[in-house]
Amino acid sequence: MHYKFLFAIAVASVVFSNTSIAAPSTDFYGFVDIGLETYNEVGIINGSDIYPGLETPNGNTDQQAFALNNNVQSRLGLKGEEDISDGWKGTYRMEFQVNVLESGGDAMQTRLGWLGLENGDHSFKVGTQWTPYMAYSGWNTNRSEAQGVASYFYVTDELEGSIAYGFRSSSTASYTYGSGGWGTASPITATIALHIADDGRKTELAGEEELTNISGITGVTLAGATTFGIVTINGAYVQNIVEQSDIAKANIKSAELGGDADEIKAAYALVTEPSIYSIGAKVQATPELEFGFAYRGADRDLHENNSTVQSTTISTQYQITEAVNIHLGYAQGKDSDKTQRQLNNNFFGQIWYQVTESRSMRLEFEQVDYGSDGEANVVLVSMRQSF
């Protein structure tokens, strides 16, 4: 019933936005996106950064021929703004992802939800929002809608909390000067984001389980970009922050007194402060042709020599015609811990066809090779109806 309630609110907002009763603008938007996917893997033993069958009722494996999926989650959203005074305006956004292949249960979840203030080059947001790491780093090279992010996840999944995987972050307060990392409109732009109480790691000791990290600010992101003609250079850094709880301290002390090396390592692993960084660029060679580059790295904060991960990704995007766009990329990566999977090769791409103004189709593919840890391949054909 609450889905119907949310939809009713959305419709009512659209109606009243066209009257003199409500001053704030309101835009109701969304799309339905359904794909047909094939997936296969060989010898994967340490996991994979390709996620098969996202939002598929029974998942997807190489043991079945194909599966329907909602890989780019269908969504409903509301966004708008309102003039306040002295050039300031209030902004807001609520966006829900909807699994249209799920007939019950948790079919709808929050995707974005924030309140903001803007004045010229200055903007503030509080709530669930895109991570600056995605805006300043991911958008250089990873333009495919669903797949094509193996080299990106290879580094970003080392973080803790919702900032892991480098997409959207919950409970975040951010400030941006300029247009932000997505585009190239500002000669200089920068963002700082504080991730608040967003570390779900827990410690269990003597039958009790509590949060490991009691810090109010559990992560910080710094990112910036500068544009020179056709070239935009950008960088980003994200750091988890930990204030150990009493139970976490007691767990470490207990492990050290026990003297078992594995238990000591596990106790300290719960209080690590991993970090990731990126240096990259976008080159707008012509209005139709763009190139991207990103070097990304992570430090697991394990206080060992083998706690770093890195990947290098290059890509190109070409607008062939007004209706057809192609995106291709290649990446490699390595882990200083030789027992972990090594990203030997990663090929990915997408062909987008805009059928009408509101309907589109796309073909996506990705291949990832982890050497002795196996390989995986995915091909996805999707259709989208926007409104």
pLDDT at position 105: 64
Helix (H) or strand (E) holding 156: helix 150-156
Query: What CA–CA distance (Å, rounded) separates 191 from 208?
Result: 39
Query: What CA–CA distance (Å, rounded) separates 375 from 346?
Result: 10
For the stretch 102-135, pLDDT in tens is: 776 677 889 999 999 999 999 999 999 999 999 9
- Region of 345 on the Ramachandran plot (φ > 0 left; ψ -120 to 50 alpha; else beta): beta
Residues near 214 by Cβ (< 8 Å), separated by ≥ 6? 243, 244, 245
The whole-model pTM stands at 0.90
- End-to-end, the C-alpha distance of the chain in Å comes to 23
Helix (H) or strand (E) holding 155: helix 150-156
pLDDT exceeds cutoff 60 at 67 = yes
- Residue 57 Cα to chain centre, angstroms: 22
pLDDT at position 341: 93
pLDDT at position 140: 96
pLDDT at position 48: 82
pLDDT at position 83: 94
pLDDT exceeds cutoff 90 at 64 = no
Q: Compute the half-sphere exposure of residue 88: CA atoms within 13 Å on the CB side of its CA.
A: 7
For the stretch 293-305, pLDDT in tens is: 999 999 999 877 7
DSSP 242: -
When mean pLDDT is compared across 103-112, 131-140, 202-211, 345-354, the lowest value belongs to 103-112
Strands 345-354 and 359-369: antiparallel
pLDDT at position 188: 97
For the stretch 14-62, pLDDT in tens is: 544 444 444 678 999 999 999 999 999 999 877 788 888 888 887 888 8
Reported CATH class of domain 38-72+121-386: mainly beta
pLDDT at position 71: 85
What does the mean pLDDT of the chain come to?
A: 91
